[in-house]
Amino acid sequence: MGGPPGWGGLTCMANPIVSPGFEVQPPWQLVGAAEIVSAPDAHGGGQYLRLLGRRGVLFESDTGSTCYQIEVPVTPGKLYPKRAWTRGDAFGPTALAVVFSQASVPDEEFFLAAPLGAGWHLWEAGTFIPVDPFVTISYVVPLPVSNGLGWWDVDDVALGLDEDETLMRSTCVDFMNRLKMLLEGIDPNFGKVYVTTKRWPTLVALEEGGAFRITSVGALDDADRIGRDVTRFWWMQPQIDVEPLTNGSAEYRSTVLLTGFYQHEDGDGQVAALNQAAIEILDAINTRTTELTTLNTGDGYLGFLGHRPRMVQPVQPGKLEEPGVQGNVVQLQISFAEEVSYI
Ligand SMILES: [Ca+2]
């Protein structure tokens, strides 16, 4: 594989942390009550990190925990998503933090995990952009404020994306860009098509009474035009799943929720226009040429529509919460699968 492909406009880097699954203790350094536990209930492999925070009635029993790794090599200015699998004592008096220290930056960057209930959960702690070429990364459970004992387990930590995930995300982005080109080629009056440039999708929700409420369009490219001088637009929310195949390849399935928004005008014209556009889009996607040529993201990939493209939500009233525009909304789902060889 060449250089790391991007997720939208962003470049994601490979995980530079050594022993991210705590299967080997060095170069992790343990302080306080931190320990590496060997147990079959690890998230991955046979070991994980356990961090305790305890404050007792007697002063001597007070303890916190830290586990750190120094000189993690990073590229200044690049974007690193921070993630770890964690499980915690949801009612304990402790918090889990990941802390980044850099020699030339006086302040540490500090990110707190929130308890998510029983079992392992993927903790997505946002992104980190280093200034220095090396950082120290620490997982910390501090002394609790009040008496009591709390614990957090940590496994499979990542700063950046592994190769499979990078390929997965770039495949999905490529698919969305191809879909965008297809849609824009059907009829320019259908409106502009947006592809998400951030790693996390736009937040949408159904309002009481069934109206579609768009609570954040900040994750869309060119978002400041939406609802101002763009009155008709579509955007995509991607999801990608991978299944290994018995021949050593993998099936990548990109599922895109395509939402269309037409700003309200007096009369029913916008409702009819949006419905017509939705039907024409579904028809255009549902052809062999689209399947075999237009949407395929790689040479020699064997792509196919995972399911018949369908209307998830028929045209209904909708509202763009910011900047407060009334309109109509329709939702389509397109699922496209490809067999991707790792060789
Ligand atoms: Ca592990």
Range of the domain at 86: 17-159
Measured in angstroms, how far is the CA atom of residue 89 from the centroid of ligand 1? Answer: 19
Q: Which of 110, 144, 159 is the last residue of a domain?
A: 159
Q: Provide the pLDDT for residue 88.
A: 86
For 10, 14, 15, 126, 171, the CA distances from 165, given in Å and listed in that order, are: 14, 9, 11, 17, 10
329 and 185 in a common domain: yes
What six digits make up the tokens of 50? Answer: 């356990």
Q: If you measure from the C-alpha of residue 62 to the centroid of ligand 1, how many angstroms do you get, rounded to a whole number?
A: 28
Q: Is 272 found in the same domain as 139?
A: no
Residue 2 inside a domain? The answer is: no
Q: What is the pLDDT of residue 37?
A: 97
Residue 332 clears pLDDT 50, i.e. is over it: yes
Would you place residue 221 in the very low, low, confident or very high pLDDT band (cuts 50, 70, 90)? Answer: very low
Q: How many folded domains does the chain comprise? A: 2
Better pLDDT: 56 or 244: 56
Instruction: Note whether 245 and 251 are within 8 A (CB).
Output: yes
The pLDDT confidence band at residue 137, using thresholds 50, 70 and 90, is very high
In the reported structure, the alpha carbon of residue 262 is separated from the centroid of ligand 1 by a whole-number distance in angstroms of 49
47 and 152 share one domain: yes
C-alpha to C-alpha distance for 69 and 26, rounded to whole angstroms = 9
Query: Which residue did the predictor score with more confidence, 123 or 114?
Result: 123
Tell me if 247 is assigned to some domain. Answer: yes
Examine the domain organization and report whether 84 and 224 are in the same domain.
no
**Whole-number pLDDT of residue 229:** 54
pLDDT band, very low/low/confident/very high, at 4 (cuts 50, 70, 90): very low
Both 314 and 199 in a single domain?
A: yes
Q: Is the pLDDT of residue 17 over 70?
A: yes
* Residue ending a domain, choose from 159, 174, 209: 159
Give CA–CA dist 326/253, Å, rounded: 34
Distance 341 CA to ligand 1 centre (A): 28
Mean pLDDT of 139-146: 87
List, for residues 258-306, the tens digit of each pLDDT value: 989 898 888 878 999 999 999 999 999 988 888 878 888 776 667 888 8
For residue 342, the model assigns a pLDDT of 57
Beta bridge partners of 110: 99
CATH code of residue 43: 2.60.120.260
End-to-end CA distance of the chain: 9
* Domain shared by 275 and 256, yes or no: yes
Task: Give the model's pLDDT for residue 276.
Answer: 95
Do 224 and 294 sit in the same domain of this protein?
yes
Q: Of 5-19, 62-76, 96-110, where does mean pLDDT reach its minimum?
A: 5-19
Q: Which of 159, 187, 215 is the last residue of a domain?
A: 159
Report pLDDT digits (tens) over 146-177: 888 888 999 999 887 555 556 666 777 788 88
Token pair recorded at residue 301: 């990939």
According to DSSP, the β-strands at 47-55 and 148-159 are antiparallel
Asked, for residue 119, whether it belongs to a domain, the answer is: yes
Give me ligand 1 centre to Cα 3, in Å.
28
pLDDT above 50 for 183? yes
Could you tell me if 202 and 301 lie in one domain?
yes
Is 209 within a domain?
Answer: yes
For the chain, the farthest-separated pair of C-alpha atoms sits apart, in whole angstroms, at 75
Distance (Å) from CA 49 to ligand 1 centroid: 8
Q: What is the mean pLDDT of the chain?
A: 78
Compute, in angstroms, the gap from residue 42 CA to the centroid of ligand 1.
Answer: 6
* C-alpha span between 37 and 151 (Å, rounded): 13
Q: Is residue 198 one of the residues assigned to a domain? A: yes
